[in-house]
Amino acid sequence: MTPPTPADGLTRAQVAERVSTGRTNAFTADTSRSAWSIVRANVFTIFNGIVFACFFVLFAIGRWQDALFGLAAFSNAIIGCVQEFRAKAALDRLALMNAPRALVRRDGAETEVVPGDVVLDDVLVLRAGEQVPADATVTQSRGLQIDESMLTGESDPVEKHPGDEALSGAVVVAGEGLAVTTRVGADSYANRFAGEARRFSLVASELRSSIDRVLTWVGWIIGPVGLLVLNAQIIVTGGYATAFSSGSWQQAVVNTIAALTAMIPLGLVLMTSIAFAVGASRLARRQVLVNELPAVEGLARVDVVCLDKTGTLTVGDIVFDAEHTIGGASPSRADEVAAVLAWYAAAPDANSTARSLRADHPVRAPLHVRGDIPFSSARKWSATVFEEVDGTWVMGAPEMIFGDEATSSSTELGRTVTRLAESGRRTLVLARAEQPLSESEIAEERLPAGLAPVRVLTFREQVRPDAAQTLEYFRRQEVAIRIISGDNPRTVAAIAREVGLDVEEGFDARELPDDDAELARLLDSQQVFGRVTPEQKKRMVTALQSHGHTVAMTGDGVNDALAIKTADIGIAMNSGSPATKAVARLVLLDGQFSHLPDVVAEGRQVIANIERVSMLFLTKTAYATTLAVVFGALILAFPFLPRQLSITDGLTIGIPAFFLALMPNASRYLPGFLWRSLSFAIPAGVVVAGGLTWYDAVARGLGVSEEQLRTGATVILAIVGIWVLAVLARPLNRFKVLVVGAMFVLLVGIFSLPPARSFFALVDPGEELALALTGIVAVMIAAIEIIRFVHRRVVVDRVRPSGDRTGETERAAQAARGSTVARVLTNGVAALAYVFGLLATAFGVLVFLSRYEGTVGRTAFSLLGASIALFGLLVLAIAAGVRRGSGLSRLLLTIVLTLAIAVSVAVLLAGDRWDWGAGITGLVAGVLVTLLWTPPTTHRFGRIRDSSMGRGRP
């Protein structure tokens, strides 16, 4: 078939023929994770394989009651897949709605089509800001420059001439041209690479890499530890010969499976995936498209935000303001000036600034171009020679055309430009040279000699109404702001002052040092930069990164594409060019700058909550691994059945972790996520394992049965697990209290209701063992409190920036209120609350265990004892809030103490003799309630509604 001519392009019939034969640019590329990758990541993993294998082994030997962990693993996989599929659906819909467009020439007219409708031999119209939709050969070029950095790694734009190849995915940064497509669809250059900019890519993240490292460590040791435990369990049952002859090997296998499944932090992987997916979905509801899920985590690390002025701080719509005649300009050329300005406004490749001239300068007498140097964002000027008008006309940034003369107070041009720029208006200059452009000037893109200014043109931009509030948020969060613009530094500084930044004048990017180290130091001291070229924007981002900063770059123009791609988090406005949106990790779909605080807050929530949750899971891994090694080395029977570990895993870790991972949390990001998590988890795990080993020795010394020993061990692990949960959830708010309390109530139900006790093989541990484990639990709880105290003071606070002490400002204000007597009383109440909490917990556990089985009356005492223990746990958790003057904590403590009084009274009335424990509990609770609501103590507490869910730290 006859190839198309550049003037006309393909005919409708030629397009239809190519569509029918499949020669189109249609290519199915996931804009987010593929369905198979989601299923594979959540189901087909090494550790899921281990868990499911253990699950089926237990089923095969008839111990289905001990296979509950398999159901939990199935549920985790299903929940993870569903959450990610929901996020994928939302992201794919948004990506489809915001797909870029392609400009082609067909039947002699320009037509806009979706990239997938481009066919082989189509004539592409390439202009600045467009993205090449398919591989093509350039046929016409007028200063055409294409940035292929996202494909080839070459950062400098490449000048394209007729016959050169333009690769799909490349960006037109200057000039214009035509090109005929040569490869489309899956055959094109960009589509042969999985890393093409518009596709999802799983970028490296500290969360994922840290968790993968833990899983690798567990993977290396789980085999040897499993053999050690299995050997010990078989020896305990009487040796290999006896075990296989009597069938007791089955119990050895069950014990080994219990040890192995406890070591695997499966839920941590699930929680991380869900937190990423939910974070992306939340941002999607706020009209923020997340191209890469791990970018949600990256938001938490941002400490410098680089902003392009136009389209970010300002609305982006340029409005023509006025013409300012320079004294030397000849009035007789007014008609020529009007015609030239009208041509610039109506030119096919006119940018938004030039187009704003159309209303005031309509085309009356069309001009024809005889030669020109197209506009380039690097040069910031264009030059044109017309057939109807004498000389060469140049329009662009005053400083780029006239240099220092444009800012000098000794020239009329300098005084005019300076005065106008300081008022916040953008300025361009129209200049004229008597001689037309020579061939060498066009080839070398040089300004003609003898240029004289004719007009200074001013343009206005509307500052976004939410810009000042957004920048104030960043200031409070200690996120530094750098405004990087291609406009006049004085104009940029004026806009910066209007949005609340304390700057006198902007720094002229033409004076930026060539040395990268000096540039980095300059960026630490300067906030506003003008006349910045696209390459300089990229250098500035790189320089900030070299000083250890995590940089977010926002912008909407094609000149921002390189910097957005280089930044740690690239954020594009939806009004920007397709190229800019293609390389950005986030796109603000409605162009609202005010979404940026939401974006940063969402990232901080994800990483802070996952750090909190990881301590739960890693503590379990630590104590399970230590227990397995200790009991395997000492040849002891493992003290749990798998079904009993399912209780503690689900109610003290799995279910509450799901809620904690999704709760608001505004803590600043701190490097060293894995170290901080392990520095708590390992000591806490050792304490739990040590306490259970101590308990095992005591229980065996008392000569209790295996069922009683396992029951006591399960009780210890449940209570200590709830305690660890409450410790890591601090500071508590109403939702965290609800989660922790609900888990404790469920545990009480399992230990109290006969069907649950029967299913989980829980029996009466006996009075002596109950007393022993109560003392052991108290020691373990005290040790965990000490570990958490040291962890926060030595590990967390040591790396926390001095300005980031979440809630300390509020606490200082609370401390300033009231008298010394009030402070002493408040601290005294908090101390009594701590003591009361410890006593109530210990007493409740004792009552609960000493009446574990028996008549209905004893069951009632069991429930009352569990309730008292729950109150004790909550009182201890709330006591810290009371010490800080939290109004919500005072209310919660009052409610808890009132209920404790009621429960104590009920115990006294139900008993046949005086119960000193219940009596003392009621008395102490009454004294504390009185002190809480009696002046001067009451003045120390803030309002209840001032309590914030977002406060807290890992």
| Catalytic machinery residues | 308
For 234, 900, 915, the CA distances from 869, given in Å and listed in that order, are 38, 10, 16
**With 0-12 CB in 10 A as exposed, 13-18 as middle and 19+ as buried, what is 646?**
buried
* Residue 869: partners with Cβ closer than 8 Å, 6 or more residues away: 719, 744, 840, 841, 843, 844, 845, 848
Give SS3 for 103. Answer: strand
Q: Give the Cα separation of 10 and 143 in Å (integer).
A: 25
What does the longest C-alpha to C-alpha distance in the chain come to?
Answer: 115
Helices (H), 477-595: 489-498, 516-525, 534-546, 561-566, 578-583
CB atoms under 10 Å from CB of 296, counted, come to 30
> CA-based angle 667:671:675, to the nearest 5?
105
Whether the Cβ atoms of residue 376 and residue 174 lie closer than 8 Å to each other: yes
Nearest to 492 by CA among 506, 480, 481: 506
**With 0-12 CB in 10 A as exposed, 13-18 as middle and 19+ as buried, what is 858?**
middle
Name the pairing type of β-strands 109-113 and 102-106. antiparallel
DSSP 651: I
DSSP E strands, 318-423: 319-325, 369-376, 381-386, 392-396
Reading the block at residue 524, the tokens are 């630490």
- How far, rounded to the nearest angstrom, does the alpha carbon of residue 133 sit from its chain's CA centroid? 31
Whether the Cβ atoms of residue 6 and residue 139 lie closer than 8 Å to each other: yes
Q: Give the Cα separation of 100 and 119 in Å (integer).
A: 16
**With 0-12 CB in 10 A as exposed, 13-18 as middle and 19+ as buried, what is 204?**
exposed
Whole-angstrom distance between the N-terminal and C-terminal Cα of the chain? 68
Tell me which long-range contacts 846-853 makes (C-beta under 8 A, separation of at least 24).
846/770, 846/771, 846/774, 846/917, 847/907, 847/917, 848/751, 849/715, 849/765, 849/769, 849/770, 849/773, 849/774, 850/767, 850/770, 852/751, 852/763, 852/764, 852/765, 852/770, 853/757, 853/763, 853/764
User: With the C-alpha atoms ordered 585, 587, 593, 598, is the resulting torsion angle positive or negative?
Assistant: negative
Phi, psi of 288 (to 5 degrees): -120, 115
Q: Give the Cα separation of 927 and 906 in Å (integer).
A: 19
Whether the Cβ atoms of residue 180 and residue 139 lie closer than 8 Å to each other: yes
**With 0-12 CB in 10 A as exposed, 13-18 as middle and 19+ as buried, what is 452?**
middle
Q: Give the Cα separation of 821 and 935 in Å (integer).
A: 10
How long a stretch of residues is the chain? 954
Whether the Cβ atoms of residue 894 and residue 876 lie closer than 8 Å to each other: no
Reading the block at residue 728, the tokens are 């890591």
Q: Give the Cα separation of 309 and 536 in Å (integer).
A: 15
* Residue 742: partners with Cβ closer than 8 Å, 6 or more residues away: none
